[in-house]
Amino acid sequence: MTVSVRIPTPLRKLTGGADEVNIEGANVGEMIDNLEAAHPGLKERLCDENGEIRRFVNVYVNDEDVRFMDGRATALKDGDEVSIVPAIAGGC
C-alpha cells in the first residue's frame, strides 16, 4: 500500500526538505521501517528502543490517532494520509 506521509518541519532535514513523502506499508510499523530505509534517522526519532512510537510523537492515519486504533499494527490502505505530529509542551 502506498501512503502519503506528512513530515513535520523538525524532521524535514532527513527527507531532503520534503514536507510529504510517499511510502509503502501494510501497517504503521512497516511504514515506519520503510521510512527509515528511504530516509535514515527517522525511525530513531519516531520510535523508542523497543520499537514503539515515542510518547511525544503523535501519528495519525486519516486524522485518527493510532494510539486509539492498533498502534504500530494499524492497517494502511492505498491513498491513506499519515501525519506525524510532534507533541508540544512547555510554558510556565
Look up the CATH number of the domain holding residue 43: 3.10.20.30
The predicted pLDDT at position 1 comes to: 84
In a domain, 92, yes or no: no
In a domain, 32, yes or no: yes
Number of domains in the chain: 1
In a domain, 57, yes or no: yes
Query: Are 31 and 5 within 8 A, CB to CB?
Result: yes
Q: Which pTM was predicted?
A: 0.91
Q: Which domain holds residue 10?
A: 2-86
Going by the DSSP 8-state scheme, the letter that residue 8 receives in this structure is P
Q: Where are the beta strands (DSSP E) in the chain?
A: 2-6, 20-24, 57-61, 64-65, 81-86
In a domain, 49, yes or no: yes
Helical ranges in 1-92 per DSSP H: 28-38, 42-46
Cα gap 71→28, rounded to integer Å: 7
Q: What is the pLDDT of residues 46-91, one digit of tens each?
A: 999 999 999 999 999 999 999 999 999 999 999 999 999 998 766 6
In this structure, the chain runs to a length of 92
